[in-house]
Chains A and B, each alone.
Chain A
Amino acid sequence: MSIRMRNLGLSLCLTFAGALAYAQSAEVPTDVAQLVEKFNEDEIPFNDNLLVLGKPEAPASVVFLLGLSGQSSFLVSRGLEDLIEKYVDTGKIRLIVIDMPLTWHDMQAFAGFRCVPPEKHWDVLKRALRYPRDAMNMKNGSIESAPGYIWSMMKGYDVSREQAEKCMRNTRIAGFIEGQRRVAYETWGTGVAPSFIVGNQVLVEPSNMNFVISAVETMLKGAQ
């Protein structure tokens, strides 16, 4: 065998090994594949705007990456409202809320919430985060059973259950949610929620909202 043939054989072996490794890394859980296969492709009208809290003339913006399955419930109940009262409602900052799904339960929930009237979007998110057990129970169930938990969060927000469940499993709306997750990951290098982007700082899963408030104060002083 010539050296050339031996090199060719070696190259083919390496290519095959690479392909095999890639195929193995591409394995996906059965439950996820089965779930997504049931998604519809209907052209459902949905809210495809970013949720922005605060006054348009506010001099600075803070980004909040919100994930239902993270520690957001704790933050929202213990500190986020305080941040909003002191800085958002007073016109010091705008708070831009990004849907950051951490699981396929979250993905279905965020997609469902996108069919709630835009003026009630923040309300339904707050409702979803009000009781930490809601997100916890949803997460502990199967991804197949998530719509039942999500419906309990979004009933009363002017969407029928049938429509809500179509929204939860719609490729277009899921794509919009995934687009947000992707931009957050590519821009700020985090796939974790809750996280806050304050100026140049990325505060990943802050253990205390005082860290966020301190960063906001520093940013505002720097802007003066």
Chain B
Amino acid sequence: MRSTNYLSPFALALLLALPGTTLAGAASTPASNVDAGGRIEKINRHAIKSAALVRQLLAKNGITQKQQ
């Protein structure tokens, strides 16, 4: 399993992974406020805790996880 301890790349991954306006990726002007008032970092921290919970819940339901 890959490490999820490095916050900033994942915080950015969260922003970059999900497109905004369209899936086709309409051109947007890059924002200067990358961390959106710190909210991205907050979401990221909750995501790390939640990911651990989700893994536990999957294991509880008999899902054996394997690294891809």
Residues of chain A whose beta carbon lies under 8 Å from any beta carbon of chain B? 26-37, 39, 41, 48-50, 52, 60-61, 63, 69, 94, 96, 98, 101-104, 106-107, 139-140, 142-143, 171-172, 174-176, 178-183, 186-189, 191, 197, 200
Q: Check if A32 sits within 8 Å of B15, measured CB to CB.
A: yes
> Which of B4, B31, B46 has a CB less than 8 Å from the CB of A174?
B46
Interface of B is mostly: helix
Q: Nearest Cβ in chain B — how far from A137, in angstroms?
A: 13
Q: Nearest Cβ in chain B — how far from A157, in angstroms?
A: 22
Q: Check if A182 sits within 8 Å of B51, measured CB to CB.
A: yes
Q: Nearest Cβ in chain A — how far from B68, in angstroms?
A: 3
- List of B residues within 8 angstroms of A174 by Cβ: 43, 46
Residues of chain B whose beta carbon lies under 8 Å from any beta carbon of chain A? 1-2, 4, 10, 12, 14-23, 28-31, 33-34, 36-37, 39-40, 42-55, 57-58, 61-63, 65-68
Q: Check if A94 sits within 8 Å of B20, measured CB to CB.
A: no
User: Provided the pairs A28-B30, A36-B39 are in contact, do residues A183 and B54 lie with their beta carbons within 8 angstroms?
Assistant: yes
User: Provided the pairs A31-B20, A102-B23 are in contact, do residues A175 and B50 lie with their beta carbons within 8 angstroms?
Assistant: yes
Q: Check if A187 sits within 8 Å of B20, measured CB to CB.
A: no
- List of B residues within 8 angstroms of A60 by Cβ: 62
Q: Nearest Cβ in chain A — how far from B43, in angstroms?
A: 5
Q: Nearest Cβ in chain A — how far from B33, in angstroms?
A: 5
> Which of B10, B31, B42, B66 has a CB less than 8 Å from the CB of A30?
B31
- List of B residues within 8 angstroms of A37 by Cβ: 33, 36-37, 39
- List of A residues within 8 angstroms of B2 by Cβ: 186
Q: Check if A96 sits within 8 Å of B58, measured CB to CB.
A: yes
* Most chain A Cβ neighbours within 10 Å, of B33, B45, B61: B61
Q: Check if B37 sits within 8 Å of A26, measured CB to CB.
A: no
- List of B residues within 8 angstroms of A48 by Cβ: 50, 53
Q: Check if B43 sits within 8 Å of A39, measured CB to CB.
A: yes
A sample of 27 inter-chain contacts (CB < 8 A) reads: A27-B30, A28-B12, A28-B16, A30-B30, A31-B21, A32-B36, A33-B31, A33-B34, A34-B36, A39-B43, A41-B39, A48-B50, A50-B54, A52-B61, A102-B23, A104-B18, A171-B39, A172-B46, A174-B46, A176-B47, A178-B44, A179-B52, A180-B54, A182-B47, A187-B65, A189-B68, A200-B66
Q: Check if B43 sits within 8 Å of A139, measured CB to CB.
A: no
> Which of B21, B31, B49, B57 has a CB less than 8 Å from the CB of A175?
B49
List 3 tightest A-B contacts by C-beta distance, closest first: A175-B46, A179-B50, A189-B68
